[in-house]
Structure 1
């Protein structure tokens, strides 16, 4: 079968690999439909893997597919069923796993597509416990975006920041994949949404998603605009994932007792924190990584009910993957780029 594999830094190739074979005990064979691209794919492509990994490595950390076969002891799924795939290989045995706090697994093996082989291939065998059934009304693209794009945001906004209706939130990089999800989820929850974007071309699309105020951070200092919009009170929550370039300004945007939740550092992993501001204003800085499988299920239910919808910049096949990664690296996208494996399967069969 065909797969996309990294063989070195910025060296990504289409290759033929062996079929996964019959699923083992507790496993399920999944035929991959859609892979959603993320910055973690860009990091891996650029060689920014923060742990040991072996090459060649199949890419793709976020995906959905159709159940084809069940191994001995696998339960809760049926052939033909669409599933969303949890992106990390957790143990399923430790206390956090047993309690449904999947992203705090004490013995996680790594993230698929970054440390372990990912999902940009035609079929894969996976533990049944890592598959979340998609409800009726949630299509392949929606299911593919549940593990990272929407699941991460659900975990950040509602598990960690505990966003409440009527509060005001600043969402950074509203044109990014998780930014577009955060605008929608926060707005549907009853929050006032302020967002930043990197160009005037992204202003109206961000407003169309529900943002109440949109700031082009390249032409305006976002912290000054936010203070003005909130009459110097500040926002209740900052949704941060940019990192070094925005972190200090994000803290200035918070009201007394406000919460900053962060899941990323695309502009740099280190920054300075004003400790006096932190304790005098009684701010809360919250780290968030990944999501729980319950977050994925909640996100797909909201998509199925029409509350939120994936924002797709571009659909590509295997031939378009490197151009897609370069566009993501240059922040030239609004929403998500998705790799439609159904096109590749059809071409391969022909």
Structure 2
């Protein structure tokens, strides 16, 4: 079977691998249909792995597939069923896992496509407990975007930031995959959405998703624009994932008692904090990583009901991945790049 491997930093190869053996107890064999690219793929491609890993490594952290064969003891998925894949190899046994707080697993084995072989391969064996069935009305692309693109945002906005109807939210990088999801989810909740983009051609696209105000951060200081839009009051929530470039400005955008929730650091991992601002304004800074499996199910239900939809920049085959990662690195995309495996 074909697979896409990272053989060294910034070097990808399409290779032939043996097909997986028959699934063991609690496992299934999946035929992968679609892989959604994320910044974690860019980090791995350019050598920013935060744990030891061995190459060659099959890439791809977010994907969906169709169950081909089930092993002994598997009951909640059936052959022929479309499923979304939870991308971290959790233990399933520790207290957080038992309580449905999967992304706080105490014995996680790593993230597929980053520390472990990922999903850019035609078939893979996985524990059935890491699969979330897609409801009717959700296709392979939608299911592929549920674990990171929509699941991460569900966890950030609703589990962590506790976003409420009527609040004002600043969504950074509205043209990114999670940015497009955050705009839709916040707007559907009934929030006023302010978002930033990096070029004028993305402004109308962001507005079409439901953004009330769109700021080109390359031509305007977003913190000044936000203060003006909110009459110097500030926003209730800042949706952060850019990192060092936007951190100080994001803090300035918060109203008294506001919440900043962050899941990323694409522009750098270190930033300084004005402690007087933090305690005097009673701000709340919330770290968020990945999602719970329930967030994936919730996201797909919203897709099935037509409340949100995947925003696709391009679809590619195996031979287009290196170019796609370069485009993501330079922020030239609006929405998601999908790798079709089938």
Category of TM-score, reference length = shorter chain = over 0.9
| Partner Cα distance (2:78, 2:86) in 1 | 18
Deviation of residue 285 (structure 1)? 0.1
Number of the residue aligned with 1:130: 130
Number of the residue aligned with 2:308: 308
| Partner Cα distance (1:22, 1:191) in 2 | 49
Q: Deviations over 1:2-61 (max 9, x none)?
A: 000011101110000111110011001110000000000011000110100011100000
Number of the residue aligned with 1:44: 44
Q: Deviations over 1:96-143 (max 9, x none)?
A: 000000000000000000000000000000000000000000110000
RMSD between aligned residues? 0.4
Deviation of residue 148 (structure 1)? 0.2
Number of the residue aligned with 1:102: 102
Number of the residue aligned with 1:337: 337
TM-score by length of 2: 1.00
TM-score by length of 1: 0.97
Q: More deviation in 319-328 or 284-293?
A: 319-328
Moved over 6 A (4+): none
Deviation of residue 224 (structure 1)? 0.4
| Partner Cα distance (1:41, 1:169) in 2 | 28
Q: Deviations over 1:137-166 (max 9, x none)?
A: 011000000000000000000000000000
Deviation of residue 73 (structure 1)? 1.1
Unaligned runs of 5+ residues in structure 2 are none
| Partner Cα distance (1:205, 1:128) in 2 | 38
Partner of 1:291, secondary structure, is coil
Unaligned runs of 5+ residues in structure 1 are 343-350
Partner of 1:232, secondary structure, is coil
| Partner Cα distance (1:319, 1:56) in 2 | 17
Deviation of residue 331 (structure 1)? 0.5
Deviation of residue 194 (structure 1)? 0.1
Number of the residue aligned with 1:268: 268
Number of the residue aligned with 1:240: 240
Number of the residue aligned with 1:16: 16
Number of the residue aligned with 1:348: none
Number of the residue aligned with 2:293: 293
Partner of 2:79, secondary structure, is coil
Number of the residue aligned with 1:89: 89
Number of the residue aligned with 1:186: 186
Number of the residue aligned with 2:140: 140
| Partner Cα distance (2:276, 2:68) in 1 | 57
